[in-house]
Structure 1
Amino acid sequence: MNVLAFADTPYYEPVYTEKKIDMVFLLGDIDYPVIRQIHRDYKEKCPILGVLGNHDGPDFFEDTSITDIHGKVLEINGVTIAGFGGSPVYNKRKYCQYEEHEVKTFVDTVETVDFFLAHSNPVVDWYTSINPSHAGFQSFNDYIQRAQPKHFFHGHLHEHYSYQIASTQLHAVYPYKYFSF
């Protein structure tokens, strides 16, 4: 399976690959015009699934073929995918900021999936002192330890790297990355 993932993308750079893209993942904080361009480029080619980030508007996926997977578990082409957008609460803005208990309520209902899509990160030692909005959700860590999804994708940190928690491969995406599984 070939996946193209985008996160925290302020500009669009066409991604060229000779391989067929099977799914596109949007991990939040992607500028509105960029979302529209990704939709135009991939809507006829493959499913596009996404979650919104803490800087996105509630209407960013409207009038597109993008499936908002926030708070859902779906099966597409034999692959199970769950998602949770937004970040921890850090200011008075009400949209796409969540309390820890809200994340826990959702992830406690999710069994093992192939792909979990999130905007925010799990709590990781090297990011706990950055700022409250990037502290991550402990409930993601608890879910990963309990259910061990195959892959957990997130954005939000404006860095690209992969790491592992238990048997789950985590992928921090910025601004985009091609994956082949």
Structure 2
Amino acid sequence: MKILLVSDEESKYIWDFFREDKFSDIDLILSCGDLKQDYLSFLVTMIKAPLFYVHGNHDHGYLNRPPEGCQCIDDKLIQYKGIRILGLGGSMKYNNSPFVYTEREMTKRIKKLRLKLFLNKGCDIIVTHAAPKDISDEKDLCHEGFKCFLDFMDKYSPKYFFHGHVHLSYGMKPRIVNYKDTTVINAYDHYIVEY
């Protein structure tokens, strides 16, 4: 299965110069947040694959006008073609926007999903906006990652952890980092994963 990851910046390669043949084998699109609603609707229309998303810290416009044809998986554990996917959007709390959380609040969100995780024997993919702490985050409060994401990976060992929020254009952060049994991938702009 081929998964298209998108986050934070609308890809000119996709949006301005779209070629159907370049994306005809995409089976699923996962958005890690902070993208225009029209861009997500464009993706799901042109690529003909389902699109699941979590909220980024700048996605307050989704409250009044969510992206058409897409499904929000924030605080949900879903199954798609046998793959268990968990969604936890938002970033570290640095203001009073709707999709920012303290470490304690994010931990509480994860705890609310424990029964679903138990019944489904964990998850294969976790989709977030923020990065895990000290793996691919930044040191400023806005871009600091969550420690509870590390605890989550320690406990459930998902195959993949997809996130956005930390733009690769900020510096020399690697796109892919391995943490124990989990491959952590920064979805900035776009990236294709063969699952």
After TM superposition, the score normalised by the length of structure 1 is: 0.88
Which whole-Å CA distance do the structure 2 matches of 1:123 and 1:12 have between them? 30
- Once the two structures are superposed, the pairs formed by residues 80-95 of structure 1 within 5 Å of their partners are 80-93=84-97, 95=98
Determine helix, strand or coil for the equivalent of 2:58.
Answer: coil
Partner of 1:33: 38
Q: How does 1:43-82 map to 2 (within 5 A)?
A: 45-57=48-60, 58-59=62-63, 62=66, 64-82=68-86
The 2-side partners of 1:106 and 1:79 are apart by: 21
Determine the structure 2 residue equivalent to 1:122: 132
Structure with the higher helix share, 1 or 2: 2
SS in structure 1 of the partner of residue 85 of structure 2: strand
Structure 2 unaligned segments of length 5 or more: list them. Answer: 169-173
Closer/same/farther in 2, CA of residues 60 and 2 from structure 1, 3 Å limit: farther
| Offset of residue 146 of structure 1 | 0.9
Q: Could you tell me which runs of 5 or more consecutive residues in structure 1 were left unpaired when the two chains were aligned.
A: none
Identity level (%): 25
Change in 2 beyond 3 A, CA 1:133/1:105: same
Compute the displacement of 1:46 (Å): 2.0
Output the CA distance in 2 between the equivalents of 1:31 and 1:169.
Answer: 27
TM-score (norm 2): 0.82
Aligned residue identity for 1:82: L
The DSSP-based 3-state class of the residue aligned with 1:117 is strand
Q: C-alpha separation between the residues in 2 aligned to 1:35 and 1:142?
A: 31
**Quick one: structure 1 residues 154 and 142, their matched pair in 2 at CA, closer, same or farther if it must change by over 3 Å?**
same
Match of 2:180 in 1: 166
Q: Secondary structure at the match of 1:5?
A: strand
Provide the alpha-carbon RMSD of the alignment. 2.1
